[in-house]
Amino acid sequence: MTGTDAPDRKTPRSVLFMCGMNAIRSPMAEALAKAALPAGTYVASAGVRHGERDPFVDVVMAEVGLSLGRHQPHTLDELEDDYFDLIVTLAPEAHHKALELTRSMAVDVVYWPTPDPTVAVGTREQIVDAYRAVRDHLATLINHRLVGPHHQKKA
């Protein structure tokens, strides 16, 4: 997709974030987008495969005052709504699946390559740092590509 990542792009009315298991990247993006996008914007997340909730996500989201609430990982098949203005994929398998599902639909699909923090090794702090990096990466992309400078909420 070309030209649609401009900072002054119109804010979508509905966004779906997709990753592998809806356990780390896409639920983080969902929570960050809900906090940053205008009220009334529908934001959801889903995975290609079933996953388990990751406690490190709760740790790093709490650091920025956000929570996933009672979020439980779910797949695309379990989504209540299946129409979105924009689908943002965060992992290669999610991107391929989204393109396959939307071949005959008028929906924008963009790929934001996002590292998988579960591959981090080392101390607990080094692992949490990898999750923080993913959170911050997603927050930056959401603010620059979806919210734009004219629509950002005041902190």
Say whether pLDDT at 154 is over 70: no
pLDDT digits (tens, 9 = 90+) for 55-85: 999 999 999 999 998 889 999 888 877 789 9
Spatial contact of 120 and 130, defined as CB atoms under 8 Å apart: yes
pLDDT digits (tens, 9 = 90+) for 134-147: 999 999 999 999 98
- What is the per-residue pLDDT for 9? 56
Find tokens 């203005």 and name the residue: 85
Integer Cα distance of 72 and 92 in angstroms: 22
- What is the per-residue pLDDT for 77? 87
Integer Cα distance of 111 and 102 in angstroms: 14
Question: What residues contact residue 141 under an 8 Å CB cut-off, 6+ apart?
Answer: 112
H-state helical runs in 21-54 = 25-36
- Output the pTM of the full model: 0.88
Q: Residue 12: pLDDT band by 50, 70, 90 thresholds?
A: confident
